[in-house]
Structure 1
Amino acid sequence: MASRKSPSTKTPGEADTVLSKSGKSRARILDAAAKVLSEKGYAGMRLTDVAEVAELQAPAIYYYFKSREDLIEEVMWVGIADMRTNLENALAEIPDGTGPVDRIMVAVEAHLRHELEISDYSTASIRNSGQVPEHLRTRQNAETAEYGKIWRSLVRQAYEDQAIRQDLDLYMLQMLIMGCINWAVEWWTPRRGSVDDVVRNAQAFIRSALAES
């Protein structure tokens, strides 16, 4: 699998300047936590594993995060916040005049690539959303709602332009699309084909479902 990148989303208080040594250590801990959480899940994530990946002593984590739960909460929020930023950037680059269905296809690709090959944070956030206690998901849920608004706008525009079937319930349609592309984190591995293959098949499947018969 391609190496995963740190998020473009800045955590609270992070400056635009080059990170200090302390800031780099905090970022390294977050990157490590995202990787461990994405692979081992909420129940299986141990701070000793995070410290090993971050190449730090486990007690050093408490200098930056009060508890394991605080660290997990940060990863879960960053995962969705960065995914939203990534999608907004992808949509902003679409040429004027691009049809509404093609815009949905761009969003499908942006989502899949981000969760499968770009960000451990997004993988961790999606995979553990149903496992992490509700009190740790307040910021994540707020970001998820904002992310959903973007998708709702894409689907609504395609419907209003009569570019997709008119007999579909738009809420159900949005949830089914999101369920389809989110589930990829659970079954996909490089052994099952490239991310390009996943994107191509998902786009073909969704485009067909949207089309008038």
Structure 2
Amino acid sequence: MAKSARTRQRILDAAAHVLSRKGFAGTRLTDVAEAAELQAPAIYYYFPSREDLIEEVMWSGISNMAEHVQEQLDALPPDTSSLDRIEAAVEAHLRYQLEISDYTTAAIRNAGQIPDNIRVRYSAEANRYGDIWRKLFQEAKREGSLRSELDPRAARMLVLGALSWAAEWWNPRRGSLDQVIRTAKSIVRAGLSTAPEAETAAPAPQRTRARKTAKAAG
């Protein structure tokens, strides 16, 4: 990679770090320059304005997330069930958002803060990412894996909203990411699947047989 390309990447990395922590309103080019170990005027050689820099970070964050989640899904065996695929997407989303990428954390935290003039490219990429999840829920609906009372769109938006909100509250000092992922996968499966109803109903005959056995023994 050429020196100019490395410098541009360093600026982007620094901007993602600052944006993920200080938000759109609090991100200053002086902070970005300090994190990138550059003089602030040097940033204008690579990005015409603060807004152009933030737009690139926001777009990269959601684009990279979409690529990561799709790669994880593509790596699954062809016969993987729809709910297992949704679980895999849950883990990929959380791990990328909270552990791998400042860009994605910045994009998710600031999606509602950026002005319309730099939202267009981000929104198009966010829709592409949404399509990945839309297909997952459509597959689950076709398989009959979703509970009958669920609206697939509402369920999808609620799941994605909950996953994205983790960027606001998760603190590695108060619980491991693996614990968060296990909990999220369990909640999502229990909330979507028809299986919990069957599992809840199953113990009743066992209790009946146990009572009969106790009476016979008495």
Pairing partner for 1:200 from 182, 205, 215: 182
Matches within 5 A, 1:130-209: 130-209=112-191
**2:144 aligned counterpart, secondary structure:** coil
Structure with the bigger percentage of helix: 2
1:192 CA drift (Å): 2.0
Runs of 5+ consecutive residues of structure 2 not aligned to the other structure: 198-218
Partner residue, 1:128: 110
Whole-angstrom CA distance in 2 between matches of 1:92 and 1:160 = 19
Partner residue, 2:44: 62
Partner residue, 1:24: 6
1:164 CA drift (Å): 1.7
Pairing partner for 1:48 from 30, 34, 48: 30
Whole-angstrom CA distance in 1 between matches of 2:51 and 2:193 = 44
Whole-angstrom CA distance in 2 between matches of 1:141 and 1:159 = 26
Runs of 5+ consecutive residues of structure 1 not aligned to the other structure: 1-18
1:88 CA drift (Å): 1.0
Pairing partner for 1:102 from 80, 84, 104: 84
Whole-angstrom CA distance in 2 between matches of 1:203 and 1:48 = 40
- CA offsets per residue over residues 46-84 of structure 1, 9 Å max, x none? 111101110111110000001101100100100000001
The number of residue pairs the alignment matches comes to: 195
| Amino acid of the structure 1 residue aligned with 2:146 | I
Percent identity of equivalent pairs: 56
Whole-angstrom CA distance in 1 between matches of 2:20 and 2:60 = 13
2:83 touches 2:193 (CA, 8 Å); kept in 1? Answer: no
Q: Which runs of 4+ in 1 moved over 4 A?
A: none
Whole-angstrom CA distance in 1 between matches of 2:135 and 2:174 = 32
Partner residue, 1:84: 66
2:73 touches 2:88 (CA, 8 Å); kept in 1? Answer: yes
* TM-score, normalised relative to structure 1: 0.90
CA RMSD of aligned residues (A): 0.7
**1:183 aligned counterpart, secondary structure:** helix
* TM-score, normalised relative to structure 2: 0.88
Greater gyration radius: 2
